[in-house]
Structure 1
Amino acid sequence: MNKEKRIEIFSRLRAENPHPETELNYSTPFELLVAVVLSAQATDKGVNKATDKLFPVANTPEAIYALGVDGLKDYIKTIGLFNSKAENVIKLCRMLIDQHNSQVPQTREALEALPGVGRKTANVVLNTAFGQPTMAVDTHIFRVSNRTRIAPGKDVLEVEKRLLRLVPKEFLLDAHHWLILHGRYTCVARKPKCGACLIEDLCEYRQKTS
């Protein structure tokens, strides 16, 4: 795919949604961090249902740590893998208190050192909470990047690096959200909605649906 096509693709996505946002509910970097950790292999809707009850009661490292693993489980038991997630979030809170003055760190290295935080989670927090031009490649972005040929790659890290290199700079900050939303609602896994797609004429997918 050439540069002109990429510019046009992201220009259209921006025109349709000038200020894209995550669908996770949060009001502080810490709330976002917890929500993203909980969202692994779970839907944003399911996470929001749990955090809408949790955050009014506990939304700081100290308050969630005080709940303990069992106390936290009561709030997140509707989310998949809640046992291991509860343990990770409690450990994460302890580390933030002990090592970061209860603040969410703003570097990938420090974020990835926290329990339950991998590269994708770190990138989401850096991008959404701190406005850094990172690319958190989830299943939606991986699929859209390969299917459209915007930035094809054999694994998530390759796609991430290609997107960072190939997405025009003016679009980089919001590209992560545009691609996720496009994959979630239009370029869906089983049968993409090509007929209703904003960028169908620019996409290089060969098996378009009507």
Structure 2
Amino acid sequence: MNKLIRQEIFERFRTANPHPTTELNFNSPFELLIAVLLSAQATDVGVNKATAKLFPVATTPQAMLDLGLEGVMEYTKTIGLYKTKSKHIIETCRILLDKYNGEVPQTREELEALPGVGRKTANVVLNTAFGQLAMAVDTHIFRVANRTRIAPGKNVREVEDKLMKLVPKEFLLDAHHWLILHGRYTCKAQKPLCERCIINDLCEYPAKTVP
């Protein structure tokens, strides 16, 4: 795919959705971090249902610690792997208080050192909470990048690196939101909705369902 086509793709995404953001509900970097920790192998809808009850009673690391592990699990038990995720939340809150005065750190290295926080989670927080240029490659982005040929790669890190290199800089801050939403609602895994896709004439997917 040449860079003019890539430019046009992101121009269309921006025109259709000028201010994209995550579908996770949050009001602070801390709440976003907790929501993303809970979101692994879970839907944003499911996480939002849990955090709608959790955040009003625990919107800071200290308040979360005050709930205790059992208390946190009461709010997260509807989410897959909730016991492990709840332990990570408690451990993370303890570290935030001990090392960062209760604030969420703003570097990838510090974020990835927190329990349960991998590169993708760190990238979401860096991008969405702190406005840093970062690409959180999930299954949707991996599929869209490969299927359209915007930035094909054999693994998520390769796709991330290619996107960071190939997406025009003016679009980088919002690119991962556009790609996630496109994969979630249009370029679906089983039955992509090519007939309503705003980039179907630019996409290089050989099995697309429109000419």
* Fold equivalence (TM over 0.5): yes
CA distance in 1, matches of 2:133, 2:191: 30
Look up the match of 1:199: 199
Identity of aligned residues (%): 71
Deviations 1:9-28 (A, max 9, x none): 00000000000010000000
In structure 2, the residue corresponding to 1:117 is in which secondary structure?
Answer: coil
Q: Distance in 1 between matches of 2:96 and 2:117?
A: 13
Aligned to 1:126: 126
Q: Distance in 2 between matches of 1:56 and 1:20?
A: 25
CA distance in 1, matches of 2:42, 2:120: 14
Give the Cα–Cα distance (whole angstroms) in 1 for the partners of residues 65 and 200 of structure 2.
48
Separation (CA, whole Å) in 1 of partners of 2:114 and 2:158: 24
CA distance in structure 2 between the aligned counterparts of 1:71 and 1:185, rounded to whole angstroms: 35
SS in 1 for 2:94: helix
Residue in 2 that maps onto 1:29:
29
Provide the rounded CA distance (Å) in 2 between the counterparts of 1:119 and 1:63. Answer: 26
User: Is the CA contact 1:133–1:173 (under 8 Å) kept in the aligned structure 2?
Assistant: yes
| 1:55 matched residue in structure 2 | 55
Q: Which AA in structure 1 matches 2:107?
A: T
Shift of 1:187: 0.1
Partners of 2:192 and 2:116 in 1: CA distance:
32
CA positional deviation for 1:191: 1.1
Alpha-carbon distance in 1 for matches of 2:110, 2:69: 23
Q: In structure 1, what is the Cα distance between the partners aligned to 2:209 and 2:101?
A: 52
Q: Deviations over 1:68-117 (max 9, x none)?
A: 11110000000000000000000000000000110000000000000010
Between the aligned partners of 1:150 and 1:182, the Cα distance in structure 2 is 13
**Corresponding residue number in structure 2 for 1:164:** 164
The residue that corresponds to 2:73 in the other structure is 73
Aligned partner letter, 2:105? P
Distance 1:140 1:81 in 2: 21
Matches within 5 A, 1:91-102: 91-102=91-102
AA at the equivalent of 1:130: F
Q: Structure 1 CA distance, aligned partners of 2:82 and 2:19?
A: 32
Contact 1:191–1:209 (Cα < 8 Å) also in 2: no
Structure 2 runs not aligned, ≥5 long: none
Q: Kindly state the Cα deviation for residue 209 of structure 1 after the two structures are TM-superposed.
A: 1.7
Does residue 190 (structure 1) correspond to residue 184 (structure 2)? The answer is: no
Structure 2 CA distance, aligned partners of 1:97 and 1:208? Answer: 50
TM-score (norm 2): 0.99
CA RMSD of aligned residues (A): 0.5
Residue equivalent to 2:87: 87
- 1:8 counterpart letter in structure 2: E
Which segments of structure 1 move beyond 3 Å, counting only runs of 4 or more? none
Alignment gaps of 5+ in structure 1: none
